[in-house]
Amino acid sequence: MNLTYLEKSILATIAYYDVLDYPMTGFEVFKYLINPLHIARLSGIDFNAEIEPMENINLINVLRELKSENLKPYIDEKNGFYFLRSRAGIIETRIERQKVSDELWKRAKKYTKYLQVIPFIKMILVSGSLAMSNARKESDIDLLIVAKHKRIWTVRFLITLFFQLIGKRRHGKKTVGKFCLNHYITDKSLKINFPSLYNAQIYSHMIAVFENEQNIYNRFQFENRWITDYLYFYDLQKIDNQRKIKNNSFFNFIAKTKELFLNTLIGSVLEKILGFFQRYHIKHHPLRNKKEGRVLANDNQLEFHPISPEMKILDKYNENMLRLGFELERERDSGLS
């Protein structure tokens, strides 16, 4: 394959999103560009910075290379979208999913604003397919919640109770448009210790809709700078202010009042009790030991992905790369298999 590493990175990025039926704009290829160093590592060849200076990788160069003769045998362009050859049909798929996502975003903002009354929430992020506006009609709304250290079980209990009471919690076969409360971390454990290309793409798309601590999103980015091993421009990701929920001073007052009461021995005892019962329930859940996912339950992180799409997506991506003629090591998952 007689391509430069930048061209290989561009092609690899489009190949990854092809698995998601997601044609990309030129800016999106730039924004989520797979790091050329990562491609080089998988090739078993040292990246030669003298031949291809890394500082030359910028938006202008990415847009220029997208139209290069070398990439024409592999990718097509239509209506400003880039995709693998013979895959123009996914443009219509993206447009339809954008419409679904727009409606889901209205629901997400409508209900997450009420979470401001819950104490000890430091940040709320929307993740999954909705974060990249690629939701299907059957999609749910994935949230990543950042809780105060030593109050993660209290936060999870209160958020679960809230969505259960209003009938919007994903449960059993009730998934469409429901809230999937599958990931909690604390403000002292912002680093996600499961690196992979899949997770790098997932976390780079996450959108912070609520911050209750100054610069916590920036701290989250800094702690997860391992993502730059996979995505060259991860440091450029910024908060989307249009997606943020409006700060409600009355709701915040209620939350702060609760925190005053629970920042005591009573709150610490309640945290231990809630943790005990939730751990017991998680330990005995029938999906607890599924091989194709990950379930974590400790005082620093709660992750409930017993059936993760990670391996399937990476397998399809590896197939795409092989079909395109890449001679690379297979992209590995984050430790699920």
Give the start-to-end residue ranges of the domains of the chain: 5-88, 97-224+237-308
Of 129, 123, 116, the closest CA to residue 248 belongs to: 116
What CA–CA distances, in Å, run from 189 to 146, 149, 150, 330? 9, 8, 11, 30
Residues 6+ apart with CB under 8 A from 225: 234, 235
pLDDT digits (tens, 9 = 90+) for 39-79: 988 887 766 655 566 667 899 999 999 999 999 999 999 99
The whole-number pLDDT of residue 266 equals 96
Residue 241 — pLDDT band, cuts 50, 70, 90? confident
The whole-number pLDDT of residue 11 equals 97
Rounded to an integer, the average pLDDT of 208-225 is: 94
CA distance 133 to 130: 5
- Helix (H/G/I), strand (E/B), else coil: 76: strand
The whole-number pLDDT of residue 292 equals 76
The whole-number pLDDT of residue 52 equals 61
On whether the 5-88 domain is CATH 1.10.10, my answer is: yes
Contact by Cβ (8 Å): 139, 104: yes
Residue predicted with more confidence, 142 or 236: 142
Rounded to an integer, the average pLDDT of 313-329 is: 94
CATH of 97-224+237-308, one of 3.40.50.740, 3.30.460.10, 3.30.499.10, 1.10.150.120: 3.30.460.10
Rounded to an integer, the average pLDDT of 244-273 is: 95
pLDDT digits (tens, 9 = 90+) for 157-166: 999 999 999 9
**Residue 199 CB neighbours (<10 A):** 20
**Burial (CB count <10 Å: 0-12, 13-18, 19+), residue 53:** exposed
**Residue 58 CB neighbours (<10 A):** 11
Q: Identify residue 216 by its one-letter amino acid code.
A: I
Residue 337 — pLDDT band, cuts 50, 70, 90? low
Residue 265: pLDDT above 70?
Answer: yes
Whether the CA torsion 140, 141, 144, 150 is positive or negative: it is negative
The whole-number pLDDT of residue 253 equals 96
**Residue 161 CB neighbours (<10 A):** 12
The whole-number pLDDT of residue 174 equals 77
Q: Identify residue 73 by its one-letter amino acid code.
A: P
Q: Identify residue 37 by its one-letter amino acid code.
A: L
Residue 243: pLDDT above 90?
Answer: no
The whole-number pLDDT of residue 113 equals 96
Residue 101: pLDDT above 90?
Answer: yes
Residues 6+ apart with CB under 8 A from 2: 70
Residue 177: pLDDT above 60?
Answer: yes
Strand order in the sheet with 141-147: 207-211, 121-127, 141-147, 179-186, 301-305, 294-297
Residue predicted with more confidence, 336 or 32: 32
- Helix (H/G/I), strand (E/B), else coil: 332: coil
